[in-house]
Amino acid sequence: KTKNVFVISGTSPIDRKLKNLAVKTLSDLDVNYAIHYLDDLPLQDLLIKITQLPDNSVIFFLSLFRDVNGQSYVPRMLISELSEKANAPTFGIVDLYLGHGIVGGNLLSADYQGKKYAEIIAKILAGKQLSNFQFTEKDNQLIFDWRQLKRWSIDEDRLPAGSLIRYRESSIWADHQWEVTAVIIIISTLSFSLMALIIQHRRRRAAELESQRLRNERAHISRVLAMGEIAASLAHELNQPLSAIRTYAQAAQRFLDKEPSETDEAEKALAGILSGNRRAEDVITRIRMALKKESFEQLSLNVKDIIQDVILLTRKKAEEQNISLRVEITDDLPRVFGDRIQLQQVLFNLIINAIESMVDIRDTPHQILIQVLRETTDAVMIAVKDSGIGIDEKQEGNLFDAFYTTKADGMGMGLSISRSIIEDHGGQLCVALNPDKGTTFSFTIPVYKEDNK
């Protein structure tokens, strides 16, 4: 709350006239603050005085064209120095002081008055009578300097209604509040949407990994069960090299027991033992690879190797059912990109299904044809064609469903798992009825390219 008002003026005729007007006006007011007139000080003393004003004081600058020592000044230039040194806010009477340090006030506008008088003179020169003019008693305007309001911590809400604020510093928020708010809302919405998408992506990725893990588990179980179905065949595959090893070992012993020993023949028998051992190791290695439980790993593969491995595991079971296995492979076949164990499992399932489809057929030759050809520039197709009983067209749409089976002792997982494996490789597993008899299952595998690495 203001307690002291210090009125600054000079000693020139204009200064004294303005002071007298101020004294008269202020004396008529019923105020609760003290009024001090600073018109009898040299400028240097005045500058010191205004730096030591008591708290809750304000300065009211009228004019100072000349000080008590007779030194002349330009008030508009002087006000800047006064307001800069003063420890209290400075107010003025004319708008010419605005922008030079005063806070503001009910200011007389020289610019406004000049325009009004120019209009009057122009109308007089045009021949109009003065009686037709409308004169206003006051041309003052409530104008304030935004920078000085901030300097002295004066709240704009305390200003009289209708006050004009000049020199307001431009700010994006003040000038474009609605636009900034809209941008903030849009950015916030996009940020939340992006976060939601990231969370959703991570959850989906976790679900995909879990789904892949479960498919691998089912595929491993399916391989173990399939190995059980051909256990006798596997035993036969091992029995052949083991029997050969025994025969060669007995022969080597006889050759060495002779007098003199037939070392050349014994060496040949030992070579036969090594060969049989390699065959047995090869069978065991392929069985272990088929049963191996590991994560999905795609590599560059030779299709012929995959087929040879599966033929080794299924040949004996086919021979037991008097079924011939025939392979047709296109020349210059490219390498494919996939997981060796899983692709072997798919081919193994299809061959076992083909064998079982011909068990009850007695009157026609049994044959399984495995064809490998390049379907497109980007894919290789492997087809397993049997001469079995075929499938019912009504069953064709359900063959790849999990737990759907046409076998009395089947689990209904083989074809479902096989399709999942092929789709994970980016291929397709299809079934078609042969024109004569039997069924053809075919699947595609992507060709290996350098960018697959």
Domain count, the chain: 3
Same domain, 112 and 240: no
Which range, of 65-79, 289-303, 430-444, averages the lowest pLDDT? 289-303
Contact (CB, 8 A) for 331 and 357: no
Q: Quick one: tokens of 225?
A: 């069960």
Does pLDDT of 433 surpass 50?
A: yes
For residue 172, give the amino acid letter. Answer: I
| pLDDT of 225 | 57
Radius of gyration of the chain measured on its C-alpha atoms: 53
Q: What is the pLDDT of residues 340-385, one digit of tens each?
A: 878 888 888 888 888 888 877 776 778 899 999 988 888 999 999 9
| Span of 1-5, 129-133, 173-177, 316-320 with lowest mean pLDDT | 129-133
Residue 288: CATH number of its domain: 1.10.287
Percent of the chain with pLDDT over 90: 28
Q: Classify residue 343: in a domain, yes or no.
A: yes
Q: Which of 238, 267, 293 is a domain's end point?
A: 293
160 preceded by a cis bond (ω within 30 of 0): no
pLDDT of residue 408: 45
Q: Does residue 221 lie within any of the structural domains?
A: no
- Are both 117 and 140 inside the same structural domain? yes
Specify if 193 maps to a domain.
no
Task: Identify whether residues 288 and 310 lie together within a single domain.
Answer: no
Q: Which domain holds residue 125?
A: 4-171
- 303 and 352 in a common domain: yes
Same domain, 140 and 283: no
Query: 266 and 409 in one domain?
Result: no
Check whether 135 has a pLDDT greater than 60: no
Average pLDDT over residues 324-333: 89
Among candidate residues 171, 186, 205, the one where a domain is terminated:
171
pLDDT band at 319 (very low <50, low <70, confident <90, very high): confident
Mean pLDDT value of segment 424-449: 88
Same domain, 425 and 345: yes
What CATH number is attached to the domain comprising 142?
Answer: 3.40.50
> Quick one: which of 408, 373, 368, 403 has its CA closest to 388?
368
> Would you call 344 exposed, middle or buried from its count of C-beta atoms within 10 A (0-12, 13-18, 19+)?
buried
Same domain, 258 and 391: no
* pLDDT in the model for residue 89: 96
Q: Please check whether residues 392 and 449 belong to one and the same domain.
A: yes
Asked whether residue 178 is assigned to any structural domain, the reply reads no
Residue 187 identity (one-letter amino acid): I
Give burial (CB, 10 Å; 0-12/13-18/19+) of 256: middle
Do 18 and 156 lie in a common domain?
A: yes
Whether 25 and 64 share a structural domain: yes
Say yes or no: 285 and 311 in one domain: no
CA distance 302 to 292: 19
pTM of this structure = 0.43
